Amino acid sequence: MRRARELLNTVIIPEVKSIIPVVPRSIVHLVFMVIFTLFVVVFMAIMANDKQAMGKNFLSYIISFVIIILTGCSLMFLELKSRNVYWVMGILVVSVSLILFNKQLFGANSATKVRSFFFTDYPIYPGFSKEVSFLIAYSLKMLVVCAVIIGASIFYRIFLNNSYKQKGYIGFIIQFLFYIPCLVSDYFAYLLKELQMTPFVVYYLLGIEVVLIGLYFLIPYLFRKMSTANSYQVLKSPLFLNHRKPLDGCKYIMKHFVHNSNKTLIGKTEITTKNRQTAFSMWISVNATTQLLENEKHTIFQYSSEENTQTGKPGVYYTSNNEYLFVFSDASGATSFTTAMPVQKWNHVVFNYFSNRCDLFLNGKLATSVTLDALSAPTFHDADSMIVGEDKDSIVGAICNINAYRLPMTPEQIAFAYNMYHLRNPPV
């Protein structure tokens, strides 16, 4: 066994190394470009014949393409006189081949299980959408991978730091298994060395930079909290308007906004009064094309009594004339307002209720003001309902970010809310 090892180290390996030539840089560049072109052609051909290329297999193709690009960049910056170039090219071919041809190499079931574990198998977390649940689960898996790499780096630093001195199969196996942890360890060692050599003034500049970046995110957050003070968010994420969806929030509004603790002394009797000053804010988007008949309207938002499902207090409807109908009260003879708003974009709507009037703000500007007397003022009840949308495909649109306020919003609050969200899609 010893003689065989000596023969391998002294004769066979040197002979193989002498056969492999030192390839000029220009030739390696040319070979890489040829390989890269072939991979792109094969890559596009496989994607064209895969019906799930833009579905469940999308991540596999993205990872394959990233591997090709990163490996190509690595080749361009490596010392190409080294024979390690061949190992890098081999890793490129093997990695992309394993990803693209995993079904043929390992069988459909095994490949599906591996892909399912890393990309498609994730739990649905309560209160979160499928997309957010996927991001949370994938982030947790990446945290586990990072923890394993860091743990292996610590193990390498403590127990195997001198393994590079070992030669033969044992040294090769150790270096192969701990290659990535070794890179991580070397990077942090390099980073620590650079930090020790950094002038102290850089830390002051870094601290100022951190403070400025923190203020960039903190100031809008504080203003957003101030603008939504004394409010209740009924709906955050967008809902399509071709399905009727009841919303929770009426009981909360009645308890905290309408039934306040103000008491009026009439004679010797204290009577608890209802708060008639409130506000409703929402974002609405509707496409121009509709299938509404003449004089037909489609419900967008409606706060109404159970007995009354035709008008709202407030209510927003879309008409056959591609206009919005705004209703301020469910009382008989109440005034309504009709106007057009930009299509295929999010529009900000605010109903500001005072004791004797209601102001309607559209996209941060006052659109109309309606007087509400004792007969036309809306009355709120515990049995009220709040719905969005309607069960018909007459319009295509969505609604989101619905908020109820205990007090009317100030013009400054309305302008700030519009300026903060109108460039977002969706505005949440």
* Residue (of 295, 287, 335, 296) closest to 315 by Cα position: 335
Residue pair 322/313 in contact (Cβ under 8 Å)? The answer is no
**Per-residue pLDDT tens over the stretch 311-341:** 788 999 998 888 999 999 887 777 889 999 9
CATH for the 233-422 domain, from 2.60.120.200, 3.40.50.720, 1.10.260.40, 3.40.50.300: 2.60.120.200
60-74, 225-239, 240-254, 348-362: segment of lowest average pLDDT: 60-74
Classify residue 292 by its DSSP letter: P
Highest mean pLDDT range out of 47-61, 175-189, 223-237?
Answer: 223-237
Classify residue 326 by its DSSP letter: E
Q: Quote the radius of gyration of the chain (alpha carbons, Å).
A: 33
Per-residue pLDDT band for 399 (boundaries 50, 70, 90) equals very high
Confidence check: pLDDT of 83 > 60:
no
- Average pLDDT on 84-105 reads 58
Rounded distance, CA 239 to CA 232, Å? 18
**Per-residue pLDDT tens over the stretch 127-158:** 566 777 777 777 777 787 778 778 877 777 76
Residue pair 311/304 in contact (Cβ under 8 Å)? The answer is yes
Classify residue 410 by its DSSP letter: P
Beta bridge partners of 282: 349
**Per-residue pLDDT tens over the stretch 60-73:** 666 666 666 666 55
DSSP string, 202-222: HHHHHHHHHHHHHHHHHHHHH
In the chain, what are the domain boundaries? 233-422
- pLDDT value for 79: 46
Is the pTM above the cut of 0.75? no
Report angle CA 76, 79, 80 to the nearest 5 degrees: 75
Classify residue 69 by its DSSP letter: H
- pLDDT value for 362: 95
Confidence check: pLDDT of 400 > 90:
yes
